[in-house]
Amino acid sequence: MRAIHAVKPGPASRVLRLVDVPDPTPGPGQLLVRPAAIGVNFIDVYRRRGVYAMPFPHIPGSEGAGEVLEAGDGAEDLSGLHPGSQVAWASSATGSYAELVLVDAAQAIPLPDGLDVQTAGALALQGMTADYLVRAAFPVAEEHTVSFYAAAGGVGLLAGQMIRSTGARLIAVVGSAPKLELLLDDGVPREDVIVLGTMRDISSELPAGVRDRTDGRGVHAVFDSIGKDTFAASLASVRRRGVVVLFGASSGPVDPFDPQELNAAGSAFLTRPKLDDYTATRRELLQRAGRVFGAAARGHLAVRIGERFPLAEAAAAHDALESRTTTGKVLLTP
């Protein structure tokens, strides 16, 4: 089969290569799947850069959706899935940028009726991420005002819908004017969108913009996926006893800081969550995925697929994601 190898840490164009490798064989408790859609996510970028420890070479990617071809011993009992089943996953055993993927049966998510495989491939990781962020990391309720960064990205567009469905107020932060227009089309009021690309000093202008929109009080929570460039602004944007949910680092990891800064920010709270800890059991995985997939299948959650790339163009997909010019989900289609 063909697969993408990240051969060493570095820029996508230099280290992501299309290679021929042997077809994988499912072991006990595993499913062999032919993906129809492969999700491209910032965690793939972090691993390729060497920010997160990974062996090299490795096949990048953790997310996808497709058809089960073969089930290893016990896999059908664990998952209820069998050859011919349509399945999605947010964690693969072998890496997802490939024509064939092994998925542990315990991580396999059955697709509900009415949900097409491309949409499922765009939802598995980012949809469950949005769900745990706004339902568990900081449970958003009607009385809250929250700020969400990269609000026109894959996670942001999904989380924004979830936040607004509670009756809470969303202050959406985007990088550029075209992304502002996308949010306006999605029904977000213009006065509740902040554009970072117009700012010379994010650390002062972003919290000032947030406080201008909240009568000086700040927000109950900030969902920050940018990291290094915005962390100080996030702390300065929350109200007393507010929460900073730091769930990404698209601008780089946050520098070490003195916990006394949380005190100075009004006894603020900081959490650095990850999806694995919010899908720690199969029951929790299926509950979270079922809620997200079911909402999409019923038309209650709109899923925007921004760009699709052939498997061989994985480096271009990474470049597009890292440029922060994409909106919605980026997919590879083998």
Give the C-alpha separation, 285 to 302, whole Å.
Answer: 21
Where do the structural domains in the chain lie, given as residue ranges?
2-125+279-333, 141-272
Biggest CA-to-CA distance, the chain: 61
Q: Please, what CATH class does the domain formed by 141-272 belong to?
A: alpha beta
Instruction: Tell me how far CA of residue 218 lies from CA of 23, 44, 201, 231, 268, in angstroms.
Output: 53, 33, 18, 15, 12
Q: Map residue 263 onto helix, strand or coil.
A: helix
What is the pTM (predicted TM-score) of this model?
0.93
Tell me if domain 2-125+279-333 and domain 141-272 are identical in fold: no
Q: What is the pLDDT of residue 210?
A: 98
Q: DSSP character for 137?
A: I
DSSP for 218-241 reads -EEEEEESS-TTTHHHHHHHEEEE
Q: Which segments within 249-292 are labelled E, that is strand?
A: 269-271
Q: Which structure tokens are listed for 100? A: 């064939």
Q: Which residue has 């965690």 as its token pair? A: 43
Q: Which structure tokens are listed for 196? A: 């970072």
Q: What's the CATH number for 2-125+279-333?
A: 3.90.180.10
pLDDT tens digits in sequence order for the chain, 334 residues long: 999 999 999 999 999 999 999 999 999 999 999 999 999 999 999 999 998 889 999 999 999 999 999 999 999 998 999 999 999 999 999 999 999 999 999 999 999 999 999 999 999 999 999 999 999 999 999 999 999 999 999 999 999 999 999 999 999 999 988 888 889 888 899 999 999 988 999 999 999 999 999 999 999 999 999 999 999 999 999 999 999 999 999 898 999 999 999 999 999 999 999 999 999 999 999 999 999 999 999 999 999 998 999 999 999 999 999 987 788 899 999 9
